Amino acid sequence: MSDSLERLYLAVIAAKDLDPAVSRTARLFQRGPAKMAKKLAEEAIEVVIDAVNGKPDAVIRESADLLYNLTVLWASCGVQPEDVWREMERREHMLGIAEKLPKSAVKMPRPPTPRVARRPIVALESRNLRKRH
């Protein structure tokens, strides 16, 4: 799989300076990272919708579009596929390859709070309660 993404990345780099009138990749580079990010998000949503609707063939097609747009965004940001693979390896050593690292430090559960006997609440007599004006 990584060979295919490597080839895609190199093709994206080669196409980024082509004529935007004929190259979708060059057009995305011309429009900038905000447009690239928007296209990536659109493709991700399409993958999700097709998956929820039980359309595996559409998931495959939209996933290819998603990977293309992700690769374009990587190239725009100066991120190379091997940078991502290194991060994947780092995570694999920490949690296993099939786990996602938490966004923040892992929170440890608090020890249970000991139950303390409390004194009962005594109701005040109504004559002692006066409203202050």
CATH number of residue 30's parent domain: 1.10.287.1080
What integer best gives the mean pLDDT of the chain? 83
Within-domain flag for 91: yes
Within-domain flag for 114: no
End-to-end CA separation in angstroms for the chain: 78
Residue type, 1: M
Q: pLDDT value at position 3?
A: 87
Q: Which domain holds residue 81?
A: 2-95
pTM (whole model) above 0.85: no
Within-domain flag for 127: no
Instruction: Map residue 103 onto helix, strand or coil.
Output: coil
Give the count of domains, the chain: 1
Within-domain flag for 74: yes
Q: pLDDT value at position 94?
A: 80
- The pLDDT tens digits of the residues spanning 37-72 come to 999 999 999 999 999 999 999 999 999 999 999 999
Within-domain flag for 66: yes
Within-domain flag for 77: yes
Within-domain flag for 123: no
Within-domain flag for 125: no
Closest CA to 16 of 81, 78, 80, 75: 75
Q: pLDDT value at position 131?
A: 47
Are residues 47 and 109 in contact, defined by beta-carbon separation less than 8 angstroms?
no
Q: Low-confidence residues of the chain, pLDDT below 70?
A: 1-2, 97-133
Half-sphere exposure of 125 (CA within 13 A, CB side): 2
